[in-house]
Amino acid sequence: MAEKLIKGPVSSAGATRAAHRIIRRSLAAMAKPIYVLNGPNLNLLGAREPEVYGRETLEDLRARCERKAAALGLTVEFRQSNHEGELVAWIQEARTKAAGLIVNAGAFTHTSIAMLDALLACPVPSVEVHLSNIFTREPFRHHSYISKAVRGVICGFGAIGYELAIEALADAIAAGKSK
């Protein structure tokens, strides 16, 4: 047994080097922010439909994400756009600039093959988030084009869903997951 303990690290120098490589990569990834991208009309949060989307404003959501990320030793780049092309450009930017990606694509969730294609081409781990439970709402909200391209989907938990997504990404980033 003792012999095994002594021999282990010496005979597994290759494995040790590989482990160091993974740690170096994870640390480098953690130096990059998690991109949190919000789609159309989410700038109206807090102003209308609190029974569906909650009372928090988009700025509250930003502060919540920043707090959660900081607690996990991460940072966030939090953005919102009403324009599909701008969201596509930001997903493309995330390919090299982000450690991970959270997307609430708003109504583009249910329409955008362009966002799906951008996400499929994005090598960083990503999570789709919805404030509301899209499956208990109108049938046209039940299908998401982008789900196919993400690691996981969180919906129906309101603002906390963004925090859950950050936790999931922190785990994926630390594990050196590429997608």
Q: Is 141 in the site for ligand CA2 (CB under 6 A)?
A: yes
Q: Report the residue count for the chain.
A: 179
Q: Is 78 in the site for ligand CA2 (CB under 6 A)?
A: no
- What residues form DSSP beta bridges with 77? 35
3-11, 28-36, 87-95, 101-109 -> range binding ligand CA2 (CB under 6 A): 101-109
Q: Is 69 in the site for ligand CA2 (CB under 6 A)?
A: no
Minimum separation from the CB atom of position 108 to ligand CA2 (A):
8
Q: Is 130 a catalytic residue?
A: yes
Q: Is 145 a catalytic residue?
A: no
**Contact between residue 130 and residue 160 where contact means Cβ atoms under 8 Å apart:** no
Q: Is 107 in the site for ligand CA2 (CB under 6 A)?
A: yes
Minimum separation from the CB atom of position 176 to ligand CA2 (A):
29
23-31, 61-69, 100-108, 166-174 -> range binding ligand CA2 (CB under 6 A): 100-108
Question: b vs e for 108-137, b when ≥16 Cβ sit within 10 Å of the residue's Cβ?
Answer: bbbebeebbebbeebebbbbbbbbbebeee
Helix (H, G, I), strand (E, B) or coil at 101: strand
Task: Sort residue 106 into left (φ over 0), alpha (ψ -120 to 50) or beta.
Answer: left
Minimum separation from the CB atom of position 20 to ligand CA2 (A):
40
Choice between 34 and 131, CB closer to ligand CA2: 131
Q: How many CA atoms lie within 13 A of 156 on its CB side?
A: 8
12-20, 71-79, 85-93, 126-134 -> range binding ligand CA2 (CB under 6 A): 126-134
Name the catalytic one among 130, 142, 143, 145. 130
Residue numbers 43-62 binding ligand CA2 by CB under 6 A: 44-45, 47-49, 53
Distance CA 49, CA 65 (A): 22
Strands (E), 26-125: 34-38, 76-80, 100-104
Would you please indicate which residues are annotated as catalytic (active-site) residues?
A: 53, 130
